[in-house]
C-alpha cells in the first residue's frame, strides 16, 4: 500500500519500491539493470527538491563508483520515462529535475528573490485547462505552471525594517 506523499525525500521502503519499478521498466524494454543505473536512481531519490544534472553526477559518485557524466545523461530519459523523475521548468535557469516517484502532481511557486520553492496543487486549474484545450480541439497531455512571486521574508524581513 502506497500513499502519495508530499515530502521531498523518499523513505527506505519507497526507495526500494521505486528501484523495483525501475527494474521492471528496464526489463519490459529489454534494457539492462545495472549498478550504475541504480546508483543514479538512488541519487535522484535521495536528492530532495530540485537538482541539476551535475548534482546528480556528484551524488551518484559519492557511492565511490566511477560514473561518467555521459552515463548520467544517457540514463536521464529512462528515469523520466519510468516516472522516477520529471524535468522542472524553472524559467531561465539551467535545466533541473525532481524526483516524483510516489508523489502527487504539483506545481511550483517560486520566490524571485531567494529562489525558495513552494509546491502547490489546485484541482480547479485542471478543469480550466481541460476546457481551454477542448475549445481548441486539443486533448490535454500535460501542463507546466509556474508562479513567480516575492515571498514574505524577502518582502519585509523583520531585520530589514529596523536595523
Partner DNA sequence: CTTCATGCAAAAGATTTGCAAGTTC
Partner DNA sequence: GAACTTGCAAATCTTTTGCATGAAG
Q: Given the rule CB under 7 A, which residues bind DNA?
A: 26, 30-37, 52-54, 65-71, 73-76, 94-95
Q: Residue 22 or residue 101: which is nearer to DNA going by CB? A: 22
Q: Which three cell numbers stand for residue 131?
A: 476546457
- Rg (C-alpha) for the chain, rounded Å, is 18
Determine contact, residues 97/44, Cβ cutoff 8 Å: yes
Q: Which does 33 bind (CB under 5 to 8 A by kind): DNA, a second copy, none?
A: DNA
Sign of CA dihedral 36, 42, 45, 48: negative
d(CA 101, CA 27): 18
Sign of CA dihedral 144, 148, 154, 156: negative
Q: Residue 58 or residue 119: which is nearer to DNA going by CB? A: 58
Say whether residue 138 binds a second copy (CB under 8 A): yes
Say whether residue 160 binds a second copy (CB under 8 A): no
Q: Which does 143 bind (CB under 5 to 8 A by kind): DNA, a second copy, none?
A: a second copy
- Report the residue from 7, 70, 152, 158 that binds a second copy according to the rule CB under 8 A: 152
**Which of the stretches 40-48, 64-72, 96-104, 143-151 binds a second copy when contact is defined by CB under 8 A?**
143-151
CA dist list (Å): 6 to 32, 102, 142: 31, 9, 20
Q: Which does 64 bind (CB under 5 to 8 A by kind): a second copy, DNA, none?
A: none
We find the least distance from the C-beta atom of residue 3 to DNA, in angstroms, to be 30
d(CA 126, CA 54): 33
* Touching a second copy, residues 68-107 (CB under 8 A): 87, 89, 91-92
Amino acid at each position: 500500500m502506497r500513499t502519495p506523499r508530499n515530502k521531498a525525500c523518499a523513505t527506505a521502503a519507497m526507495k526500494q519500491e521505486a528501484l523495483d519499478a525501475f527494474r521492471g521498466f528496464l526489463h519490459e524494454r529489454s534494457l539492462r539493470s545495472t549498478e550504475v543505473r541504480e546508483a543514479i536512481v538512488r541519487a535522484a531519490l535521495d536528492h530532495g527538491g530540485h537538482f541539476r544534472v551535475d548534482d546528480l553526477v556528484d551524488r551518484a559518485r559519492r557511492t565511490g563508483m566511477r560514473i561518467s557524466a555521459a552515463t548520467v545523461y544517457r540514463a536521464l530519459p529512462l528515469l523520466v520515462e519510468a516516472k522516477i523523475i520529471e524535468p522542472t521548468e524553472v524559467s531561465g535557469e539551467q535545466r533541473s529535475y525532481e524526483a516524483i516517484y510516489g508523489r502527487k502532481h504539483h506545481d511550483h511557486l517560486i520566490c524571485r528573490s531567494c529562489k525558495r520553492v513552494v509546491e502547490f496543487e489546485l484541482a480547479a486549474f485542471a478543469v480550466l485547462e481541460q476546457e481551454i484545450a477542448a475549445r481548441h480541439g486539443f486533448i490535454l497531455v500535460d501542463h507546466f505552471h509556474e508562479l513567480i512571486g516575492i515571498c514574505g521574508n524577502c518582502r519585509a524581513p523583520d531585520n530589514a525594517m529596523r536595523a
